[in-house]
Amino acid sequence: MLGLFLRWLFAFALIALTYNPTPWNYVRWSTTHHEARLSLVVFLGLLLLIGYIIYLRATLRSIGAGGMLLVLAVVASMLWVLRDYGVLRFDQADVNLWLGIFALSVVLGIGLNWSHARRYLSGQQDMDDVDY
């Protein structure tokens, strides 16, 4: 269970490190420091790109584009229910951005965790998991 949480947490961190409403994110930092620290901007950008490739490739292989849309729709409908019951308000741009980061991280987290969850629930392994 900890592994499932950690994979989601890393997805959240990846997206939040790339962009968030605070001044502490890659996009804002790189636009202000690209002239003085171009090599570091490129290096960190490549590390983020590798993280996105890992997550997106695993997500597309496990749940596909349709699954990604379905998970995003479920998260969006959950947020809609929370708004209808007065738990959330969508009148603050920063909160909305954090909710978007959360929603995207749930999609990537479920995508990375889906093969593990399917194997646990069904007892069947994916073809990629079988050793010869």
DSSP states along the chain: -HHHHHHHHHHHHHHHHH--SSS-SHHHHHHHHTTTSHHHHHHHHHHHHHHHHHHHHHHHHHTHHHHHHHHHHHHHHHHHHHHHTTS-----HHHHHHHHHHHHHHHHHHHHHHHHHHHHHH-PPPGGG---
pLDDT at 2: 83
pLDDT tens-digit map of 104-116: 999 999 998 887 7
Low-confidence ranges of the chain (pLDDT < 50): none
Give me the phi and psi of 89, to 5 degrees please. -125, 140
The closest of 1, 4, 131, 126 to 63, measured between CA atoms, is: 126
d(CA 90, CA 131): 49
Half-sphere exposure at residue 4, Cβ-oriented, CA atoms within 13 angstroms: 11
Residue 37 tokens read as: 């620290």
Residue 128 has what pLDDT? 58
The residues spanned by each domain of the chain are 2-123
